[in-house]
Structure 1
Amino acid sequence: MSSSPSRLPGSRLLRYSLPSLVTSVAALPMALFIPAFYADELGLPLAAVGAAIAASRIFDVVTDPLIGTLSDRLPTRWDRRKPWMLLGTPLFLVAIWQVFVPGDSATIGGLLLWAALLYLGFTLIDLPHRAWGAELSTDYDERSRITSIREALSMAGQVALLGFLVVLTMLGLEAGAEQLRGIAWLVLISLPLLVAIAVLTVPEGSPGGFAHARRGWRAGLRILLRNPAFGRMVGCVLLFVSGIAIQGTLHRMVLADVIGDESLFPLMLFIENLATLAAVPAWLWLSVRIGKHQALIAAALWLAALSLPLMLLRAGDATLLIILIAIRGASFASILFLANSIAADVIDVDTLDSGEQRSGLFFAVWGMTTKLALALGVLLGTLLPAAVGYDPSTDATSAEIQARLMLIYGGVPALMMAAGALFLRGFPVSRERHAEVRAKLLEREETG
């Protein structure tokens, strides 16, 4: 790992970030398209669909720490992180086709199986990729630049995807099955190429660490769990991502059964993600000015405040909905890239305590938290509406059910974002604290 705070070449960071263009495109429909597609077009029970997607993440409890630990401790002639990405790519491609193009005989069991394999493939690609990024630099602000570029490309991929869906809608291809098939083909063609470019042209950082007593995985996990900053980040991200996923799950249903114009779904998401992408430089600037955790608090409260008016919208309010979603969504990328940048700093604290550079294990727990939060958001976004009497397969939704649905759509995520921000008050890893940690690490590395 380089100890220099100098800026890395932008072209290198772009090549490193390329896989995120497509993995984000594949992940987006799991919350935004799949529940409505399986429930509405395939006729499966909405609550069962949400439960299957949530249950498919149970395996992450085992696979994520295992993959993270192995990528930390099993260096190969092809580096530590890259072989796992190459292993995960074909599994990801097969599984995404099975989930997105299930045919008319789709079942809840089939969705559960292939969604679990899809998430396993995603973990094999994404977890080592994030650990690799955390090791490209040790500088407090440069890490934010690295994660902001990666998340910007992720947003750019989603913008391109949604632009593609807008074009399909203009061509009359509005059915979920047609749109998901198109997405699957895009992923199958582009992901292998982008992973190859990143793996073949960008070097990994050197692992840090210093001489220390060898520990078993249980002892190492205990050190991780005793890290108070990491515990806070897990808590806030669990609430942040779940809240965002609830709204993402309900977007299409709200447009169809409250606003009255489901055809606006791709356009609304396109505008939202375009606003998110455009706001990345502003949030990066703010994080340099006031610190990462303060900027993350501001982003969460921004989203919470702009979610509350959503509860008041009804039929005919399509323009106002799109405006609110776009303004509120301007904080999305900042929540993602700032949280990942803070996680890299927290890993340095662990390295000081444990003597090992364990980015893989940390991002395994981090990724597991994020995926469980997404699953929780999908689960709440399907179970809560069903619990208050909402059924997307009915021809008409009463005003009372609409009011309940919009309360869940706007109010529940706002509360979760505000609660998540509380975890960041008095956050222990500031710019100054991180500089102290880096100085101690350099001293120990030099003395062996």
Structure 2
Amino acid sequence: MKISSLIFYGLLGLPLAMAALPVYVQIPNYYTAQLGLPLASTGLVLFFARMFDTVQDPFIGQIIDKLGCSNRIWIFVSAALLCLTFAGLWLPPAFARNSNTSLLIWLGVMLSLAYTAHSMLNIAYLAWGSSLESQGTSNSDQQAASYHQLLGASAWREAFGMLGVIVASIIPSWIILQDKSSTETQLVQYAMGFAALVLAAVVALLFGAVKPLQRGAHAIIALRILLKNPRFVALLRIYFFNSLSVAIPASLILFFINDRIQTPEKTALFLSSYFIAGACGLPLWIKLAKRIGAQRSWQLGMLIAVLSFVSASMLGAGDANAFLLVCIASGFALGADLALPPVLLTVLVDDKQNMGAYFGLWSLVGKFTLALAGLSLSLLALLSYQANQVNQASGLMALTFTYAVLPCAFKLIALFLLRHFSKSTPS
């Protein structure tokens, strides 16, 4: 497969990532610290919006299997909806800012629509990537060649994704720190730039990327059939605990920087170093997976993540340099979390006709962990933590436990399950 085709495929990972992880990181802080919403009620809105998103993903995956992952109307409609809702999240209109209730309703509606659009586009995108099987190879080489090709597609997708989160981590953080009189104009420009990136990436995917293999017509598979695959269920279980270990600190990192490390002016540095480390580490994880397999490589990534968050739990006010090292180490481990699990899933599933359904359930699990992570804000409120209050010993202890210690426990559970995951994959 030509490298240009893989690049054109991977480009859509950039705007999709801009609308995913950074939004989960930045929107809660933006609506509470900047727009003045209460922490507890914002956490509940995040939870219910993410639960709505979780429930719909398997059905979206089934529709994609029916229509085909390269259906142009589906891709253009979902891309347009994503652009509109992305702008709506950052630019709530004046009538929505009249009261906390109105703003909470606006946040809930925009999040739900943004999640729907992202799922429509992302599940089709993942199913497209899983269909990039090797052609023209001998039977003896087919399995290894397909595996390496899947790794290549995943590498370009996640590399552009890392670039997307770097851009989306730096720009909004910089805008929010500027004079408030110019914030709205800059956010408008940011939303317009995002829409231009989405359009360019969609055009590249549809007209420049290698086409997915066409599948014959088939009936929509029942979700219960997917859950009868014990190895798929075992991998879902691992993915659940690992995703939860990533989602919780992603939801709380801005609060940790502001109130525990107490260096909000370095937010862009911390976030960008985290994602740059992930981008730099990504080719190393792919290379390692080709040598020792995706499963063993992912285990190593989990160990690095645990060590980094244990270190974070020991930090306090002024430990900016130490926290920067934590961001770099955990970002490096993030590359394994992003690139390797979809490869394991694709290799595990023999039923390529229904990859959209499988990725729909896969996405459901990831979204469910994000919904649970949204409740961490409400949990902190119950534990007497208040944002922007640095002289609250018990609240800061609760923040440290929830941000650093709890994710380590979930990551260790995922590591234990992965070590016992009995599925041979080519290396």
Query: Could you state the TM-score of these two structures normalised by the residue count of structure 1?
Result: 0.85
Letter in 1 for 2:191: A
Q: Can you list the C-alpha shifts for 1:372-413, whole angstroms capped at 9, x where unaligned?
A: 222222322x123212110115x4432232222112211011
Aligned to 2:287: 285
Residue 222 of structure 1: how far off its partner (Å): 2.7
Structure 1 residues 62, 244: closer, same or farther in 2, change over 3 A?
Answer: closer
Matches within 5 A, 1:167-178: 168=175
Separation of aligned partners in 2, 1:167 and 1:329? 20
Which stretch shifts more, 256-265 or 123-132?
Answer: 256-265
Structure 1 residues 173, 232: closer, same or farther in 2, change over 3 A?
Answer: farther
Letter in 2 for 1:68: G
Structure 1 residues 275, 321: closer, same or farther in 2, change over 3 A?
Answer: same
Pick from 86, 92, 102: which aligns with 2:76? Answer: 86
Matches within 5 A, 1:202-217: 202-207=209-214, 217=221
Residue 62 of structure 1: how far off its partner (Å): 4.7
Residue 124 of structure 1: how far off its partner (Å): 1.2
Residue 278 of structure 1: how far off its partner (Å): 0.5
Matches within 5 A, 1:339-350: 339-348=341-350
Structure 1 residues 15, 363: closer, same or farther in 2, change over 3 A?
Answer: same
Separation of aligned partners in 1, 2:60 and 2:126? 13
Structure 1 residues 182, 313: closer, same or farther in 2, change over 3 A?
Answer: farther
Aligned to 1:112: 108
Aligned to 1:272: 274
Structure 1 residues 413, 19: closer, same or farther in 2, change over 3 A?
Answer: same
Aligned to 1:186: 193
Residue 208 of structure 1: how far off its partner (Å): 5.4
Work out whether residues 71 and 128 of structure 1, in 8 Å CA contact, stay in contact via their aligned partners in 2.
Answer: yes
Q: Can you list the C-alpha shifts for 1:99-144, whole angstroms capped at 9, x where unaligned?
A: 1111433521221111110011101111100000000125123212
Aligned to 2:159: 152
Structure 1 residues 272, 80: closer, same or farther in 2, change over 3 A?
Answer: closer
Separation of aligned partners in 2, 1:178 and 1:379? 32
Separation of aligned partners in 1, 2:131 and 2:77? 21
Residue 309 of structure 1: how far off its partner (Å): 1.4
Structure 1 residues 400, 113: closer, same or farther in 2, change over 3 A?
Answer: same
Aligned to 2:131: 135
Work out whether residues 141 and 288 of structure 1, in 8 Å CA contact, stay in contact via their aligned partners in 2.
Answer: yes
Structure 1 residues 180, 410: closer, same or farther in 2, change over 3 A?
Answer: farther
Separation of aligned partners in 1, 2:186 and 2:30? 10
Q: Give unmatched runs, 5+ long, in structure 2.
A: 135-145
Work out whether residues 161 and 183 of structure 1, in 8 Å CA contact, stay in contact via their aligned partners in 2.
Answer: no
Aligned to 1:418: 412
Which stretch shifts more, 199-208 or 277-286?
Answer: 199-208
Work out whether residues 311 and 403 of structure 1, in 8 Å CA contact, stay in contact via their aligned partners in 2.
Answer: no
Q: Can you list the C-alpha shifts for 1:123-180, whole angstroms capped at 9, x where unaligned?
A: 1111100000000125123212211210111001222333445765786679987775
Residue 42 of structure 1 pairs with residue 32 of structure 2: no
RMSD in angstroms over aligned alpha carbons?
2.5
Letter in 2 for 1:270: S
Pick from 80, 85, 89: which aligns with 1:99? Answer: 89
Structure 1 residues 429, 38: closer, same or farther in 2, change over 3 A?
Answer: same
Residue 388 of structure 1 pairs with residue 377 of structure 2: no
Which stretch shifts more, 235-244 or 336-345?
Answer: 235-244
Aligned to 1:428: 422
Residue 308 of structure 1: how far off its partner (Å): 0.7
Pick from 300, 319, 335: which aligns with 1:333? Answer: 335
Residue 25 of structure 1: how far off its partner (Å): 0.8
Work out whether residues 54 and 367 of structure 2, in 8 Å CA contact, stay in contact via their aligned partners in 1.
Answer: no
Separation of aligned partners in 2, 1:409 and 1:114? 26
Structure 1 residues 192, 280: closer, same or farther in 2, change over 3 A?
Answer: same
Aligned to 1:446: none
Residue 66 of structure 1: how far off its partner (Å): 2.3
Q: Alignment length, in residue pairs?
A: 410
Work out whether residues 158 and 273 of structure 1, in 8 Å CA contact, stay in contact via their aligned partners in 2.
Answer: yes
Letter in 1 for 2:395: I
Work out whether residues 28 and 251 of structure 2, in 8 Å CA contact, stay in contact via their aligned partners in 1.
Answer: yes
Q: Give unmatched runs, 5+ long, in structure 1.
A: 1-7, 435-448
Letter in 2 for 1:121: A
Residue 244 of structure 1: how far off its partner (Å): 1.4
Work out whether residues 66 and 220 of structure 2, in 8 Å CA contact, stay in contact via their aligned partners in 1.
Answer: no
Letter in 2 for 1:92: L
SS at 1:33 equivalent: helix
Letter in 2 for 1:302: I
Separation of aligned partners in 2, 1:109 and 1:71? 30
Aligned to 1:370: 366
Separation of aligned partners in 1, 2:343 and 2:230? 17
Letter in 1 for 2:58: P
Residue 399 of structure 1 pairs with residue 393 of structure 2: yes
Separation of aligned partners in 1, 2:70 and 2:33? 43
Aligned to 2:59: 66
Which stretch shifts more, 64-73 or 93-102?
Answer: 64-73
Letter in 1 for 2:400: M
Query: Could you state the TM-score of these two structures normalised by the residue count of structure 2?
Result: 0.89
Separation of aligned partners in 2, 1:266 and 1:179? 17
Work out whether residues 173 and 179 of structure 1, in 8 Å CA contact, stay in contact via their aligned partners in 2.
Answer: no
Structure 1 residues 167, 98: closer, same or farther in 2, change over 3 A?
Answer: closer
SS at 2:225 equivalent: helix
Structure 1 residues 170, 71: closer, same or farther in 2, change over 3 A?
Answer: closer
Residue 65 of structure 1: how far off its partner (Å): 2.2
Which stretch shifts more, 164-173 or 267-276?
Answer: 164-173
Separation of aligned partners in 2, 1:216 and 1:334? 32
Aligned to 2:138: none
Work out whether residues 241 and 377 of structure 1, in 8 Å CA contact, stay in contact via their aligned partners in 2.
Answer: no
Separation of aligned partners in 2, 1:428 and 1:81? 36
Q: Can you list the C-alpha shifts for 1:297-338, whole angstroms capped at 9, x where unaligned?
A: 111121012101111111111111111111121011211110
